[in-house]
Structure 1
Amino acid sequence: MSNSRVGLPPVEPEAAPCCPPLASAELSEADAARTAAMFKALGDPVRLRLFSKVASHPGGEACVCDIQDVGVSQPTVSHHLKKLREAGLLSSERRGTWVYYRVEPAALAGLARLLDLDR
């Protein structure tokens, strides 16, 4: 069986947050909009739990079958995972009947850089 991507294509380098730390420079309008979309996606408790489950899963990726136990229905889990993908925080790959998710390292690194107030 071949692997096929589902959802949006991976975050392109220019789409990843590349902002300087908040305390060192003003955000551009584009960087602010892109970063706000990521924070908005993480602002929901179910999405934050799903993101955490993927990020902390052994091997750096998780099957939807392993992370769907967050107290909501399966269609709702799919909706929240889609929002995290659309924000560029997760990527996904279909393998057989299951979809595997992994954190987009560039997005996570960009958010960490943005919040680094020690610079």
Structure 2
Amino acid sequence: MVRTSHQRCAREPTGRHLDDAAAVFHLLSAPIRLRLPWWLLHHPERDVTALAAAVGAKVPAVSQHLAKLRLAGLVSARTQGAQHIYTVDDPHVAVLIEQVLDHITDSDARPRPVGPQSGPTS
């Protein structure tokens, strides 16, 4: 069993916990929906226009992605005048995103995961 500094003794997850976790990973499987919370972790409290410019996408598309992330509890928003200001304030979300990206970028020797965009490796 691999131990990490964040590991704690926890009971076995229920089927519902695993379904919910899979839903979070599915939601984050769209690169833009992974990029938005990552960007917010490094540049907190931005509105949709600033986020759209940062990730190179159109405001309506970013707004829809943020709505999905917000419903899932991965980002939060507060109203400031007519704007919604987005942030990531759950430390679990921060750890999840940082850990998965560290896992991918940690070693150039690690094989690239096979997925819909990468295709099979041979």
TM range (shorter): 0.5 to 0.7
Counterparts in 2 of 1:1-119, with a 5 A limit? 26-57=12-43, 60-69=44-53, 70-108=55-93, 111=96
Runs of 4+ aligned residues of structure 1 deviating over 6 Å after TM superposition are: none
Q: Is the 8 A contact 2:41 2:94 kept in 1?
A: no
Alpha-carbon shift at residue 104 of structure 1 (Å): 3.4
Q: Is the 8 A contact 2:48 2:59 kept in 1?
A: no
Alpha-carbon shift at residue 71 of structure 1 (Å): 2.9
Alpha-carbon shift at residue 61 of structure 1 (Å): 2.1
Alpha-carbon shift at residue 72 of structure 1 (Å): 2.5
Report which of the two structures shows the higher radius of gyration computed on alpha carbons: 2
SS at match of 1:65: helix
Relative contact order (C-alpha < 8 Å, sep 6+): which is higher?
1
Q: Summarize deviations over 1:8-32 as a string: whole Å, max 9, x none.
A: xxxxxxxxxxxxx6xx753211211
The AA in structure 2 aligned to 1:98 is Q
RMSD value, Cα:
2.9
Q: Summarize deviations over 1:47-85 as a string: whole Å, max 9, x none.
A: 11111111111xx32222221122332111111101111
Which 5+ residue runs of structure 1 have no aligned equivalent?
1-20
Which 5+ residue runs of structure 2 have no aligned equivalent?
1-6, 101-122
Q: Is the 8 A contact 1:89 1:107 kept in 2?
A: no
Looking at structure 1, the residues matched to 58 and 81 of structure 2 have their Cα atoms a distance apart, in angstroms, of: 22
Looking at structure 1, the residues matched to 15 and 95 of structure 2 have their Cα atoms a distance apart, in angstroms, of: 16
Give the alignment's TM-score, normalised by structure 2: 0.61
Q: Is the 8 A contact 1:37 1:87 kept in 2?
A: no
Looking at structure 2, the residues matched to 110 and 32 of structure 1 have their Cα atoms a distance apart, in angstroms, of: 18
Q: Which structure's residues are more often strand, by fraction?
A: 1
How many residues are aligned here? Answer: 92
